[in-house]
């Protein structure tokens, strides 16, 4: 089925010609008239193009630098399809390229993009010195201290008693309590 370059055949006739010659659905058959040639867009190529577009859109929405590697893998699958590889080989190329990109380049991209996580007020207390204002005794459930001008309920990390006017270091925060250890231990 050839279409002469000077022919005035309408597009539907061209699509029917493509269907007859190549056996593809008219929605999936892209016909171009160039020097009497029919160019076919196979369904598998459309699948790879849709995959590339979907992964790029997903990456644009999530900003997690994960799906971009799958878009590159889909491009690899598209190249394999254009080279005439069977679908199972195309899938292997897609998986291999995606995994290699994910494993090799994601750590580098995370370092480059580095998101600085701001400590909250509570997180910023960890490692700070606390002036014990009331004896810390976990058994008696007592203890109070001042850090950064604020009074806190204080408990020790290892059930040691910390006397009033001693200095302790904040190890962690549990709810509204500072968990501390005696400075120098």
Q: Which two tokens stand for residue 17?
A: 């010609």
66: pLDDT confidence band, cut at 50, 70 and 90?
Answer: confident
Return the pLDDT at 59: 86
184: pLDDT confidence band, cut at 50, 70 and 90?
Answer: confident
Single pTM value for the model: 0.45
Model confidence over 26-55: pLDDT tens digits?
333 443 344 444 444 578 888 999 999 999
Residue 171: phi and psi, rounded to 5, are -90, -45
Return the pLDDT at 120: 65
Nearest Cα neighbor of 89 from 106, 100, 77 is 77
Cβ-contact 102, 93 below 8 angstroms? no
16: pLDDT confidence band, cut at 50, 70 and 90?
Answer: very low
Secondary structure of residue 24 in the 3-state scheme:
coil
75: pLDDT confidence band, cut at 50, 70 and 90?
Answer: very high
Nearest Cα neighbor of 51 from 82, 76, 88, 86 is 76
Q: How far apart are CA 47 and CA 126, in angstroms?
A: 52
Nearest Cα neighbor of 51 from 85, 97, 18, 84 is 97
Q: Which two tokens stand for residue 53?
A: 């577009």
């Amino acid at each position: 089925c050839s279409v002469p370059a000077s022919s005035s055949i309408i597009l539907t006739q061209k699509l029917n010609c493509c269907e007859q010659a190549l056996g593809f659905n008219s929605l999936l058959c892209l016909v171009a008239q160039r020097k009497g040639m029919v160019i076919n867009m196979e369904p598998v190529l459309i699948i790879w193009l849709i995959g590339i577009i979907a992964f790029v859109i997903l990456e644009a929405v999530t900003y997690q630098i994960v799906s971009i590697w799958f878009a590159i893998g889909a491009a690899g699958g598209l190249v394999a399809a254009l080279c005439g590889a069977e679908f199972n080989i195309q899938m292997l190329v897609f998986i291999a390229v995606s995994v290699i990109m994910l494993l090799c380049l994601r750590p580098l991209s995370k370092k480059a993009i580095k998101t600085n996580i701001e400590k909250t007020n509570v997180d910023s207390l960890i490692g700070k010195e606390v002036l014990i204002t009331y004896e810390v005794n976990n058994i008696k459930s007592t203890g109070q201290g001042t850090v950064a001008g604020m009074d806190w309920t204080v408990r020790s990390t290892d059930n040691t008693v910390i006397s009033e006017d001693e200095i302790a270091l904040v190890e962690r925060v549990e709810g509204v309590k500072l968990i501390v250890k005696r400075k120098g231990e």
